[in-house]
Amino acid sequence: MLTVGQSFPKFQAHGCVGSAKDSLTTFHNQSFPGQWVVYFFYPKDFTFVCPTEIAEFNKRLGEFQDRDAMVVGGSTDNEFSHLAWCQSHEDLKGLKYPLIGAQKLAADLGILHPEEGVCLRATFIVDPEGTIQFATANGLSVGRNVDEIIRVLDALQSGELCPCNWKKGEETIKV
Q: What is the per-residue pLDDT for 30?
A: 81
Q: What is the per-residue pLDDT for 21?
A: 85
Catalytic residue numbers read 50
Per-residue confidence of the chain (175 residues) as pLDDT tens digits? Answer: 999 999 999 999 999 999 998 899 999 988 888 999 999 999 999 999 999 999 999 999 999 999 999 999 999 999 999 999 999 999 999 999 999 999 999 999 999 999 999 999 999 999 999 999 999 999 999 999 999 999 999 999 999 999 999 999 999 999 9
| Sheet with 132-138, side-by-side order of all strands | 25-28, 12-16, 99-101, 69-75, 36-41, 121-126, 132-138
Against a cut of 0.85, is the pTM above it? yes
Strands 99-101 and 69-75: parallel
Residue 130 to residue 23: CA distance in whole angstroms: 25
Q: What domains does the chain contain, in order, with CATH numbers? A: 12-158 (3.40.30.10)
Residue 100 to residue 135: CA distance in whole angstroms: 19
